[in-house]
Amino acid sequence: MLILTCPYCGVACDETELSAGGEAHLTRHGPGSSDGEFEDYLFMRENPRGVHFERWRHVYGCGKWFHAARSTATLEVFGTYSAQVLIPPDDIRAAVSAKVPGWQWRDLT
Amino acid sequence: MSRYSVFAVAREAFRDHQGWTRAWSSPEPKRKYDVIIIGAGGHGLATAYYLGKNHGIRNVAILEKGWLGGGNTGRNTTIIRSNYLQDPSAAIYEKARSLYEDLSQDLNYNVMFSPRGVMMLAQTEHEIRGYKRTAHANALQGVKTEYIGPERVKQLCPIMEIRGPRYPVLGALWQSRGGTARHDAVAWGYARKCSEMGMDVIQQCEVTGVRSEGGKVVGVSTSRGDIDCDKLGVVVAGHSGHLADMAGFRLPIESVALQALVSEPIKPCMDVVVMANTVHGYMSQSDKGEMVIGGGTDGYNNYTQRGSFHHIEETVRALVETFPMISRLKMLRKWGGIVDVTGDRSPILSKTPLENCFINCGWGTGGFKAIPGSGWGMAELMATGHSPLTESFGLERFKEGRFIDESVAAGVAH
């Protein structure tokens, strides 16, 4: 059972209390973008076997969206953080780098 | 390799069964092959088989990281049907279903195809309309299905409670030629025939890199050394993204866990396959008597082959309402498989940005039923560069917006 701590209300939530929102930190493309960029935004996904940054929503709680860093290979949770950031904060990056040696950071900006 | 027949069984009975040979060989990889297929699951082996049978390409290696058919081929609930709404889906799934009908004869291996009939229950007004529409679409596609009322449902499956309080059974989409098959036997049968044609099925051989020169694939690096090839087929289901990354392109795919479970064996009580998509559960009875139950996928990316317990609980809770007699059944075991889900819930059978590299993935939660059709189309695509079965399933459809939208249309429990 996946347990994530909501960074807003501080509750350690069971996954039945949450709703998964898919990959985080996507570059949003809108009007004026090329077909390729729009395809990337809508459909292409990293889908890594390892560290994954995700959006989650605390549906049966405070109702707020937040971010989580999690491993898809071990189900380990590295941490959760605010939805108001475009890239993972330093403490999350440090936690991931410490637990997954050799993890290559891709450009998330 | 000796042919399996009643005479072979009789002959071996008289000599203490000493004459049986191994069903497929385990050769060392050669330096070079015409075609390498990555992934010895059902789809990979079927692709290799039809490359040899239909197109005469027999210098083929099938590389497998683990063991033969040890991925989703051995982890599904073995349901075979072709009652899809969209024309390209109906074409490839119906091709697969029709190939299943005489697959045992074709492969000389008993895949135990059992066309016992598949019904998809309509438990809301919306589903009634949806399934009637599918039945009409199937009539135009030449796929034999019909919409049946609740009395007929009860007649076909007497253990069902059709007047449940929350989800009464209002009707069903019935495909009488759908059914089940023995999943391991499908992989084993194809592997045996591939081996017989001189192909190399190489297990315990993990691909660690895809080598290319000038935008063209030239071979793969594996845990057992480099192997060259003219053409490469990537058929690795949940791990497609991983392989695409090695080959240098991205895929519109997310990998999630799908779970299934079986009960203790009981006496025969249900001779059809029932899918209840409103409540996300489906059930059939295996030849051993176990009730085989499947549910929906988890909502988050996962490669661990185990899923969340609450999904199993939801599935069983829903099925108990429709089948009250299973409420006292003990469940023997549950397991999870990693399924590769695309944005439109339809598969990808396609050329890739890397020349001579082909990909077959994205079957999501319904790959087993498609194995022969998928192999047939993929082999044609790899051998000739074009196949009418696969032309709509190209990677470029996401850029062009030509989706084959089965996410709602197929009414499957995703």
Domain count, chain A: 1
B19 in a domain, yes or no?
A: no
State whether B277 and B159 are in the same domain: yes
Q: What residues of B are in the A interface, CB distance below 8 Å?
A: 239, 241-242, 250-255, 298-304, 308-310, 342-343, 398-400
What confidence score (pLDDT) does residue B411 get? 46
Specify the pairing of strand B348-351 against strand B357-361: antiparallel
Rounded to 5 degrees, what are φ and ψ at B128? -55, -50
Domain that holds residue A11: 1-24+50-103
State whether B90 and B235 are in the same domain: yes
A108 in a domain, yes or no?
A: no
Answer yes or no: are the C-beta atoms of B20 and B12 closer than 8 Å.
yes
B16 in a domain, yes or no?
A: no
A64 in a domain, yes or no?
A: yes
B245 in a domain, yes or no?
A: yes
Tell me the shortest Cα–Cα distance from B414 to chain A, in angstroms. Answer: 15
H/E segment holding residue B202: strand B200-202
Domain count, chain B: 2
Answer yes or no: are the C-beta atoms of A18 and A1 closer than 8 Å.
no
Chain A / chain B CB contacts < 8 angstroms: 66
Least CB–CB distance from B301: residue in A16, A42, A72: A72
- At A57 the three-state DSSP class reads strand
Show which of B342, B365, B382 is a domain's final residue. Answer: B342
Tell me the shortest Cα–Cα distance from A47 to chain B, in angstroms. Answer: 5
Question: How high is the mean pLDDT of chain A?
Answer: 91
Structure tokens that stand for A79 in this block: 């941490």
State whether B201 and B77 are in the same domain: yes
Cα separation, B59 vs B77, whole angstroms: 33
Q: Is the pLDDT confidence value at A105 over 80?
A: no
A63 in a domain, yes or no?
A: yes
Domain that holds residue B157: 118-177+255-342
What confidence score (pLDDT) does residue B410 get? 46
H/E segment holding residue A66: strand A65-71
Q: Which residue has the tokens 């809770």?
A: B317
A90 in a domain, yes or no?
A: yes
Q: What is the CATH number of the domain that holds B198?
A: 3.50.50.60
Answer yes or no: are the C-beta atoms of B313 and B320 closer than 8 Å.
no
Alpha carbon separation from B7 to B3, B12, B102, B103 (Å, rounded): 9, 8, 20, 20
C-beta atoms of A47 and B343 within 8 A: no
State whether B172 and B192 are in the same domain: no
What confidence score (pLDDT) does residue B190 get? 97
B225 in a domain, yes or no?
A: yes
Q: Which residue has the tokens 């941490």?
A: A79
Q: What is the CATH number of the domain that holds A10?
A: 3.30.2270.10
Least CB–CB distance from A72: residue in B253, B302, B308: B302
Which positions in chain A touch B398 (Cβ < 8 Å)? Answer: 39, 42-44
For residues B292 and A101, which has the higher predicted lDDT (pLDDT)? B292
State whether B186 and B243 are in the same domain: yes
Answer yes or no: are the C-beta atoms of B95 and B372 closer than 8 Å.
yes
B413 in a domain, yes or no?
A: no
What confidence score (pLDDT) does residue B317 get? 87
State whether B335 and B189 are in the same domain: no
A39 in a domain, yes or no?
A: no
State whether B290 and B303 are in the same domain: yes
Q: Which residue of A has its CA nearest to B304?
A: A73
B207 in a domain, yes or no?
A: yes
Question: Which residues, at least 6 apart from A107, have a Cβ–Cβ distance to it below 8 Å?
Answer: none
State whether B193 and B331 are in the same domain: no
State whether B358 and B391 are in the same domain: yes
A2 in a domain, yes or no?
A: yes
Cα separation, B230 vs B60, whole angstroms: 10
B145 in a domain, yes or no?
A: yes
Beta strands in B248-308 (DSSP E): 253-263, 273-276, 281-285, 291-301
Q: What is the CATH number of the domain that holds B338?
A: 3.30.9.10
Tally DSSP H helices, then E strands, for chain B: 11, 18
Digit-by-digit pLDDT tens for chain B (414 residues) are: 689 999 999 999 999 999 999 999 999 999 999 999 999 999 999 999 999 999 999 999 999 999 998 889 999 999 999 999 999 999 999 999 999 999 999 999 999 999 999 999 999 999 999 999 999 999 999 999 999 999 999 999 999 999 988 889 999 999 999 999 999 999 999 999 999 999 999 999 999 999 999 999 999 999 999 999 999 999 998 889 889 999 999 999 999 999 999 999 999 999 999 999 888 889 999 999 999 999 888 889 999 888 888 888 988 988 898 999 999 999 999 999 999 999 888 999 999 999 999 999 999 888 999 999 999 999 999 999 999 999 999 999 999 989 888 875 444 544
Helix residue ranges per DSSP H, B20-65 = 42-55
What confidence score (pLDDT) does residue B413 get? 43
- At B62 the three-state DSSP class reads strand
Which positions in chain B touch A23 (Cβ < 8 Å)? Answer: 254, 301
A40 in a domain, yes or no?
A: no
A35 in a domain, yes or no?
A: no
B83 in a domain, yes or no?
A: yes
Show which of B323, B342, B361 is a domain's final residue. Answer: B342
Q: What is the 3-state secondary structure (H, E, C) of B168-211?
A: CCCEEEEECCCEECCHHHHHHHHHHHHHHCCCEEECCCCEEEEE
- At A41 the three-state DSSP class reads helix
Show which of B342, B365, B392 is a domain's final residue. Answer: B342
Cα separation, B385 vs B151, whole angstroms: 49
C-beta atoms of A72 and B253 within 8 A: no
Cα separation, B226 vs B36, whole angstroms: 12
Alpha carbon separation from B127 to B1, B63, B139, B295 (Å, rounded): 50, 43, 18, 18
State whether B188 and B330 are in the same domain: no
What residues pair up with B331 in beta bridges, in sequence order?
B263
Answer yes or no: are the C-beta atoms of B118 and B79 closer than 8 Å.
yes
State whether B323 and B373 are in the same domain: no
